[in-house]
């Protein structure tokens, strides 16, 4: 697919669960071959943004264009066409528990291509080799450690040679050494493959390591969209707070605070 301009873009994108709006009309562009990190704290809406970009959540209004298709108005088959061109590595792996690691990686190839079984087998081994799990092809997901599950999920996400790779919290729940290993893996992929990478994380160190550009989300708004150097120089109070790991202050207006205890009595 050759498209000029951004490969993913959001236009006045709003998403709500029930009555609660999570993303308040955000605008962004992601260019082909770029590595973008979406950074934000818990409840910032970064996971919702990721789910919207892969079509798991429907925008309430606005548009989200992925590879030339507006997911907000795409039909089921259009959505599936987009999904065959993207890969998502889930936070917990989300490997199908009843299948071996190899079968998980082979699944999209078997369903969506007409390749020979032997070709698929070779491709599965190549993908597993890329994430360092070749020896674990015949293991069940339950036999893998957390870091290995994430690697296996990545192998599955890469199975169809996607144009866009999404990562949901790649280093969450991992010890620093394993997490660093995943970062290196992402950077190697970035060099080796012609692929757009979108990583959602709250890990600062890994964000600055892998990103070309960083989008900072805070309470459903984009507060920054810039290169790592620009971001470090930013004077925006929320960004400074996030970068310097300053907790939210509990001390607000004293009268307001007291009112919490006395209202509706």
Binding site residues, another protein, CB under 8 A: 51, 54-56, 77, 79-81, 83-84, 86-88, 90-92, 94-98, 107-108, 110-112, 153, 156
- To the nearest whole angstrom, how small is the minimum distance from the Cβ of residue 161 to another protein? 13
**Contact (Cβ atoms closer than 8 angstroms) between residue 165 and residue 197:** yes
Contacts 24+ apart (CB under 8 A), 217-220: 217/26, 217/38, 217/39, 217/40, 217/44, 217/45, 217/46, 217/49, 218/40, 218/41, 218/44, 218/242, 219/24, 219/43, 219/44, 219/45, 220/21, 220/22, 220/23, 220/24, 220/26, 220/44, 220/45
Q: At closest approach, how far in Å is the CB of 73 from another protein?
A: 18
Q: Between residues 117 and 205, which has the closer beta carbon with respect to another protein?
A: 117
Q: Enumerate the β-bridge partners of residue 165.
A: 87, 197
**Neighbouring C-alpha atoms within 13 Å toward the C-beta of 56:** 11
Q: How far is the CB of 57 from another protein (least distance, A)?
A: 10
- Smallest gap from residue 20 Cβ to another protein (A): 16
17 versus 232: smaller Cβ distance to another protein: 17
CB of 51 to another protein, least distance (A): 8
Least separation in angstroms between CB 56 and another protein: 6
Tokens (6 digits) for 156: 């599955």
**Structural contact between residues 129 and 152, judged by C-beta atoms closer than 8 angstroms:** no
Kindly tell me which of 84 and 138 has the beta carbon lying closer to another protein. Answer: 84
State the maximum Cα–Cα separation within the chain, in Å, rounded to a whole number. 72
Question: In this complex, which beta carbon is closest to another protein, that of residue 15 or of residue 214?
Answer: 15
């Amino acid at each position: 697919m050759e498209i000029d301009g951004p490969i993913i873009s959001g236009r006045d994108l709003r998403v709500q669960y029930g009555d609660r709006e999570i993303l308040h009309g955000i605008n962004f562009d992601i260019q082909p071959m770029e590595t973008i990190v979406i950074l934000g704290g818990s409840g910032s809406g970064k996971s919702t943004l990721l789910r919207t970009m892969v079509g798991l959540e429907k925008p309430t209004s606005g548009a989200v264009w992925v590879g030339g298709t507006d997911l907000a108005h795409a039909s089921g088959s259009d959505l599936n066409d987009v999904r065959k061109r993207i890969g998502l590595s889930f936070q917990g792996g989300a490997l199908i528990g009843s299948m071996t690691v190899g079968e998980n990686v082979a699944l999209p190839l078997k369903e969506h291509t007409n390749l020979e079984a032997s070709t698929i087998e070779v491709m599965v081994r190549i993908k597993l080799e890329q994430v360092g799990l070749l020896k674990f092809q015949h293991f069940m997901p339950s036999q893998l450690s957390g870091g290995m599950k994430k690697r296996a999920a990545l192998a599955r996400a890469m199975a169809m040679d996607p144009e866009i790779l999404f990562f949901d919290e790649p280093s969450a729940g991992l010890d620093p050494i394993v997490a660093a290993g995943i970062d290196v893996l992402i950077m190697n992929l970035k060099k080796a493959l012609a692929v757009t990478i979108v990583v959602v994380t709250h890990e600062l160190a890994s964000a600055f390591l892998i990103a070309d550009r960083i989008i900072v989300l805070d309470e459903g708004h984009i507060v920054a969209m810039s290169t790592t150097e620009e971001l470090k120089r930013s004077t925006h109070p929320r960004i400074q707070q996030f970068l310097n790991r300053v907790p939210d202050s509990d001390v607000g207006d004293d009268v307001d605070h007291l009112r919490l205890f006395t209202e509706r009595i």
